[in-house]
């Protein structure tokens, strides 16, 4: 039976209005904290070192941690506000149950856990084990990610477990596995400093990885040339030697044309290609017709600029290529990634000092979280859930029969589709807000309403949780011990600074308790996070993401250890591939043909404008955390639609006028932000908001066939000015990525 979400009125009754929390001037305890805890920012993949100041079991402030090597004390606007979450008035402090007609009502741990277990049993008995799915997230530590993977397969006994990295790094992961047999950025970022040429493709680094900018400036100070590939003239592009303003969805045409140019002008490393790679000939055959003129036609980038980029890249002795979601959030995301890798391999500039390549991992533990088995097709150590040897190894570590280990399950968006088909009836989620972050949110909402039972573990009441039957109050990153792995591949130590407030519990204790109640106490008998990590080390041993030699003590003593690190006397691997022994079956790096293909949806008469989506500096992901922090909200209170002045003129749109943006999936209303920094045929909307302000009402559920990543970065839309100026709040957003 369709279930209605708890009404907004009922939520307000229980929680009061949504609070934008700013502390008093000069916060309490600043001068004399009880303790200072060296740990890391909970937000993006940079995982900047930070010191948290603690007083009376509350995080009351922060200090820079100057000694931590990556960020050397630097923090971005989110990092300096992160401490405000632990003590936030919106924290969930007790389990809640949905009571029809009343909204969410506090309940006990015993009652809520019993209900969860009863519903799991009921649904699995009636519809089969796989009818109960789990969604997880990589803001979770390595220990929790590993635990969730084991919990879903061993205690919940479902194959349908996937995670929010499916919306994030999977195109890069799949591309890296095809080309190198291993999924990690190839270098630590200090290698950037001496690179002669740096390409940044589809990554708005100044806003999304602000502390990484430092390493790019260092290279610039030494004369490095910078090439930025983005439909918007983003802050980094404004300082670049070349800005290639690519039309969304056409990157592979650009990389293909650059590759052809390198071939035609013999700017190739023949020794590297001949001895250490395979697949070169078919890859260059696929781009033999990709002239500069053709590429200009497809990508909208002037051919002189494409030529200049190929010349700079081709002639450099050292170089670095970085990309992020701008090229990966596509139904051809894996092809785009392979197109970039082909340029790196053709010039042989990898596995050498100051020569590197990598995707910039997005979420805090986006790297570690994609290695230890909470992906639908993966087992710990980045093992393959369909490989009989890998299955046997993990089944032995877990003490189960290989035949009882579930197989490959559905990916995140496919789980939503399966709910619509009635194949999945129950859901448990932790650290994921799919209603805001998955594409086609009207379809996602309809799926949530169809679920027979949904339990959510979070520390804030996110938008998806409003559809839950039970909400379990979990923990923030600083409320548990653990490790994460930064975008560089550096395994670092997350420190417990405080215990969870009120009746909230650590995420780990909630999962362990659930496993126990599902009859799996023996296999989930961990004393602490370190015990989980030690099992993870064994489970990862021999896999491509090998953590076996990494101990808590080493991570602390060495301020992080880079995987792979197979033995305790192994130094770890900051720079991959120095030995040229790639992890592919033939030991070579693979070129892969990456011909240009059209995106899933193209513009037409009805929907004539390209829509792309992404981020702003002060908001984080689905906004659950940052939309609650006063100063971050002040900086960017609501999403604006970026429109070029010429396009605005065509529609008679004024600055800050409300504009209805519609696609085949839905519509939203956004104040206009008229800026010269975007292509004339494209509009951009940041996606951190919900409801009528949600960009994901508009985006399509088209997936990359290999990675299953949704196509967040390109679809067709239309604009209608509403002839009404936005209320004052949007006026304060003077800073709008321009």
In angstroms, the CA 640 to CA 345 distance is: 40
**300, two tokens:** 């909208």
In angstroms, the CA 450 to CA 460 distance is: 23
625 binds, among ligand SF4, Mo ion, ligand MGD, none (CB under 5 to 8 A by kind): ligand MGD
In angstroms, the CA 128 to CA 130 distance is: 6
In angstroms, the CA 514 to CA 524 distance is: 10
Give the CA dihedral 136, 139, 142, 147, nearest 10 degrees. Answer: -30
**Per-residue x/- mask for ligand MGD, residues 44 to 83, rule CB under 6 A?**
x---------------------------------------
Of 39, 433, 529, 663, which one interacts with ligand MGD (CB under 6 A)?
433
Shortest separation between residue 441's beta carbon and Mo ion, angstroms? 17
Nearer to Mo ion, 276 or 687 (CB): 687
What's the residue count for the chain?
Answer: 738
In angstroms, the CA 451 to CA 2 distance is: 8
Give the CA dihedral 94, 4, 417, 328, nearest 10 degrees. Answer: -60
Shortest separation between residue 360's beta carbon and ligand SF4, angstroms? 11
Q: Give the footprint of ligand MGD on residues 174-213 (CB under 6 A).
A: 201-204, 207-209
Nearer to Mo ion, 61 or 362 (CB): 362
Burial of 31 (0-12, 13-18, 19+ CB in 10 A): exposed
Binding of ligand MGD by 589 (CB under 6 A): no
**389, two tokens:** 């040897």
Of 52, 174, 246, 292, which one interacts with ligand MGD (CB under 6 A)?
246
Binding of ligand SF4 by 672 (CB under 6 A): no
Angstrom distances, CA of residue 406 to CA of 121, 223, 378, 400, 687: 17, 53, 11, 11, 34
Report the Cα 465 to chain-centroid distance in Å.
20
Q: Give the footprint of Mo ion on residues 142-171 (CB under 5 A).
A: 168
Of 95, 249, 409, 549, which one interacts with ligand MGD (CB under 6 A)?
249
Q: How many CA atoms lie within 13 A of 251 on its CB side?
A: 32
Of 6, 11, 37, 44, which one interacts with ligand SF4 (CB under 6 A)?
44
Q: What's the helix, strand, coil split of the chain in %, to 5?
A: 35, 20, 45
140 binds, among ligand SF4, Mo ion, ligand MGD, none (CB under 5 to 8 A by kind): ligand MGD
48 binds, among ligand MGD, Mo ion, ligand SF4, none (CB under 5 to 8 A by kind): ligand SF4
Nearer to ligand SF4, 188 or 610 (CB): 188
Binding of ligand SF4 by 48 (CB under 6 A): yes
376 binds, among ligand MGD, Mo ion, ligand SF4, none (CB under 5 to 8 A by kind): none
Nearer to ligand MGD, 545 or 678 (CB): 678
Return the range that interacts with ligand MGD (CB under 6 A); candidates 322-330, 384-392, 498-506, 534-542.
322-330
Binding of ligand SF4 by 338 (CB under 6 A): no
**580, two tokens:** 């040229």
Binding of ligand MGD by 474 (CB under 6 A): yes
Binding of ligand MGD by 624 (CB under 6 A): yes
248 binds, among Mo ion, ligand MGD, ligand SF4, none (CB under 5 to 8 A by kind): ligand MGD
Angstrom distances, CA of residue 600 to CA of 201, 238, 697, 710, 715: 20, 30, 17, 10, 8
Angstrom distances, CA of residue 284 to CA of 208, 256, 274, 400: 34, 8, 14, 47
573 — phi, psi (to 5°)? -130, 85
Of 432, 453, 563, 577, which one interacts with ligand MGD (CB under 6 A)?
432
Q: Which residue has the tokens 């209900």?
A: 115
Shortest separation between residue 432's beta carbon and ligand MGD, angstroms? 5
Strand partners, 198: 226, 320
Binding of ligand MGD by 693 (CB under 6 A): no
Of 45, 362, 574, 671, which one interacts with Mo ion (CB under 5 A)?
362
Q: Give the footprint of ligand MGD on residues 268-297 (CB under 6 A).
A: none
Shortest separation between residue 50's beta carbon and ligand SF4, angstroms? 7
Q: How many CA atoms lie within 13 A of 76 on its CB side?
A: 26
Residue nearest to ligand SF4 (CB): 79
232 binds, among Mo ion, ligand SF4, ligand MGD, none (CB under 5 to 8 A by kind): ligand MGD
Angstrom distances, CA of residue 636 to CA of 230, 270, 455, 689: 22, 50, 31, 11
Binding of ligand SF4 by 632 (CB under 6 A): no
In angstroms, the CA 360 to CA 212 distance is: 10
**Sign of the alpha-carbon dihedral angle for 454, 459, 461, 462:** negative
Return the range that interacts with ligand SF4 (CB under 6 A); candidates 191-199, 206-214, 506-514, 552-560.
206-214
Cβ contact 685:715 at 8 Å: no
Q: How many residues bind ligand SF4 (CB under 6 A)?
A: 13
* Closest alpha carbon to 247 in 206, 203, 302: 302
Strand partners, 52: 37, 62
Cβ contact 710:443 at 8 Å: no
Q: Using DSSP, state whether 214 is helix, strand or coil.
A: helix
Nearer to ligand MGD, 329 or 466 (CB): 329
Binding of ligand MGD by 345 (CB under 6 A): no
Binding of ligand MGD by 497 (CB under 6 A): no
Of 11, 37, 46, 405, which one interacts with ligand SF4 (CB under 6 A)?
46
Q: Give the footprint of ligand SF4 on residues 66-105 (CB under 6 A).
A: 75-76, 78-79
Nearer to ligand SF4, 77 or 380 (CB): 77
Shortest separation between residue 362's beta carbon and ligand SF4, angstroms? 10
Shortest separation between residue 473's beta carbon and ligand MGD, angstroms? 9
Shortest separation between residue 409's beta carbon and ligand MGD, angstroms? 18
In angstroms, the CA 258 to CA 321 distance is: 14
Cβ contact 65:613 at 8 Å: no
695 binds, among ligand SF4, Mo ion, ligand MGD, none (CB under 5 to 8 A by kind): ligand MGD
Binding of ligand SF4 by 324 (CB under 6 A): no
Q: Which residue has the tokens 């996606």?
A: 687
Angstrom distances, CA of residue 565 to CA of 540, 548, 578, 583, 712: 10, 6, 15, 15, 35
List interacting residues with ligand MGD (CB under 6 A).
Answer: 44, 137, 139-140, 164, 167-168, 201-204, 207-209, 229-232, 234, 246, 248-249, 251, 324-327, 329, 362-363, 430-434, 437, 457-460, 462, 474, 476-477, 507, 612-615, 617, 619-622, 624-625, 684, 687, 695-696, 699, 712-714
List interacting residues with ligand SF4 (CB under 6 A).
Answer: 41, 43-44, 46-48, 75-76, 78-79, 209-211
């Amino acid at each position: 039976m369709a279930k209605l979400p708890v009404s907004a009125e009922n939520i307000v009754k229980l929680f009061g209005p949504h609070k934008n929390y700013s502390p008093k001037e000069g916060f309490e305890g600043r001068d004399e904290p009880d303790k200072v805890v060296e740990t890391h920012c909970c937000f993006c993949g940079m995982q900047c070192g930070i010191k948290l100041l603690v007083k009376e079991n509350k995080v009351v402030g922060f200090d820079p941690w100057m000694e931590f090597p990556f960020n050397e004390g630097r923090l971005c606007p989110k990092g300096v506000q992160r401490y405000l979450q632990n003590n936030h008035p919106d924290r969930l402090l007790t389990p809640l149950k949905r009571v029809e007609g009343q909204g969410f009502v506090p309940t006990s741990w015993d009652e809520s856990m019993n209900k969860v277990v009863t519903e799991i049993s009921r649904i699995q008995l009636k519809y089969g084990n796989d009818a109960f799915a789990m969604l997880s997230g990589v803001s979770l530590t390595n220990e929790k990610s590993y635990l969730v993977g084991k919990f879903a397969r061993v205690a919940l006994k479902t194959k349908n477990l996937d995670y929010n990295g499916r919306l994030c790094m999977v195109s890069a992961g799949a591309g890296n596995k095809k080309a190198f047999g291993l999924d990690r950025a190839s270098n630590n970022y200090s290698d950037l400093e001496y690179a002669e040429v740096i390409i940044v493709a589809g990554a708005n680094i100044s806003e999304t990885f602000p502390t990484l900018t430092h390493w790019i400036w260092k290279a610039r100070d030494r004369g490095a040339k910078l090439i930025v590939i983005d439909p918007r003239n983003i802050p980094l592009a404004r300082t670049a030697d070349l800005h290639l303003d690519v039309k969304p969805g056409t990157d592979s045409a650009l990389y293909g044309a650059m590759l052809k140019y390198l071939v035609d002008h013999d700017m190739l490393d023949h020794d590297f290609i001949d001895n250490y790679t395979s697949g070169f000939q078919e890859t260059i055959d696929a781009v033999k017709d990709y002239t500069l003129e053709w590429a200009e036609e497809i990508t909208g980038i002037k051919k002189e600029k494409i030529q200049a980029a190929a010349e700079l890249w081709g002639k450099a002795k050292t170089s670095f290529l970085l990309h992020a979601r701008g090229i990966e959030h596509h139904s051809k995301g894996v092809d785009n990634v392979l197109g970039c890798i082909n340029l790196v391999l053709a010039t042989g500039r990898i596995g050498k000092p100051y020569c590197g390549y990598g995707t910039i991992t997005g979420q805090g533990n986006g790297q570690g979280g994609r290695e230890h088995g909470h992906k639908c097709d993966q087992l710990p150590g980045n093992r393959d859930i369909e490989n009989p040897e890998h299955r046997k190894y993990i089944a032995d570590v877990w003490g189960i029969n290989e035949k009882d280990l579930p197989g490959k399950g559905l990916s995140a968006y496919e789980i939503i589709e399966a709910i619509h088909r009635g194949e999945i009836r129950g859901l448990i989620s932790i650290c994921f807000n799919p209603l805001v972050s998955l594409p086609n949110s009207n379809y996602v909402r309809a799926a949530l309403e169809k679920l027979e039972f949904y339990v959510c573990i979070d520390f804030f009441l996110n938008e998806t949780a409003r559809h839950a039957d039970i909400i379990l109050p979990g923990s923030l990153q600083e409320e548990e011990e653990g490790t994460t792995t930064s975008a560089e591949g550096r395994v670092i130590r997350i420190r417990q600074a405080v215990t969870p407030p009120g009746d909230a519990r650590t995420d780990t204790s909630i999962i362990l308790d659930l496993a126990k109640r599902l009859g799996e106490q023996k296999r989930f008998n961990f004393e602490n996070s370190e015990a989980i990590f030690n099992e993870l080390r064994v489970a990862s041993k021999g896999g491509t993401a090998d953590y076996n030699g990494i101990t808590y003590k080493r991570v602390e003593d060495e301020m992080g250890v880079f995987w792979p690190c197979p033995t305790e006397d192994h130094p770890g691997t900051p720079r991959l591939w120095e030995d040229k022994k790639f992890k592919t079956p033939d030991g070579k790096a693979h070129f892969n043909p990456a011909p240009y293909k059209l995106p899933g949806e193209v513009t037409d008469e009805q929907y004539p404008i390209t829509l792309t989506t992404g981020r702003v500096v002060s908001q984080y992901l689905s906004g659950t955390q940052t939309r609650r922090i006063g100063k971050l909200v002040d900086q960017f209170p609501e999403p604006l639609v970026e429109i070029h002045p010429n396009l605005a003129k065509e529609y008679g749109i004024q600055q800050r006028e409300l504009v209805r943006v519609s696609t085949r999936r839905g519509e939203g209303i956004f104040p206009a932000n008229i800026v010269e920094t975007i292509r004339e045929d494209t509009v951009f909307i940041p996606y951190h908001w919900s409801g009528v302000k949600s960009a994901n009402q508009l985006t399509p559920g088209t997936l990359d066939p290999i990675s299953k990543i949704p196509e967040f970065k390109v679809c067709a839309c239309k604009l209608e000015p509403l002839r009404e100026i936005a209320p004052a709040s949007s006026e304060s957003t003077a800073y709008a990525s321009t």
